[in-house]
Amino acid sequence: MPRIRDFSPGSLDRLADQRLRIPWLEHSGLRGKAWSFTIFFPRFLITAEGTQETICTNLDEELLQDMLVRHFGGCTANQNPIQGIGRRGNALETNVHHMITVLASRWRGTQRYFRALRRELEESSGEEQVLILRQDHTIA
């Protein structure tokens, strides 16, 4: 799918809330139950013919990371490209992603936030589906 527009971090500001963050405890740091969300941030599409199309730009990625730092207190970004190969209809294609992970509280608003983030990434990038995976954790 062709890129549609720039990523708009302002669309998520209405869902930003202190309860998204895991509480920082003085003298012990982060503790307790948490979720991690891993965003497969789509950067490029490589078609069966070998042409490369930009899905999301460096600026989109910077805006996303800045937003996650503001809303969650930080994120971890892996700049090494991750390739996914699969079929879209009858055509074979390769998607190149960067992985961005965020630790978040187990609050119902957190799930709403990441559903809205996925929608914004799909609408801006033109991708049919942007993967965001959630995993349960206990921070000792």
Nearest to 35 by CA among 25, 20, 14: 20
User: Does 1 have pLDDT greater than 80?
Assistant: no
Residue type, 86: G
Beta strand segments in 8-140, E: 24-25, 29-30, 32-46, 52-54, 76-88, 91-104, 132-139
Domains recognised in the chain with CATH numbers: 9-139 (3.30.70.120)
What's the chain's length in residues?
Answer: 140
d(CA 80, CA 75): 15
User: Does 2 have pLDDT greater than 80?
Assistant: no
The reply to whether the predicted model has a pTM over 0.95 is no
pLDDT, residue 87, reads: 84
75 contact partners, CB below 8 Å, separation of at least 6: 65, 68, 69, 100, 101, 102
Q: Mind listing the pLDDT tens digit for each residue in 77-131?
A: 998 999 999 887 888 889 999 999 999 999 999 999 999 999 999 999 999 999 9
Strand partners, 24: 30
What is the arithmetic mean of pLDDT over 37-65?
94
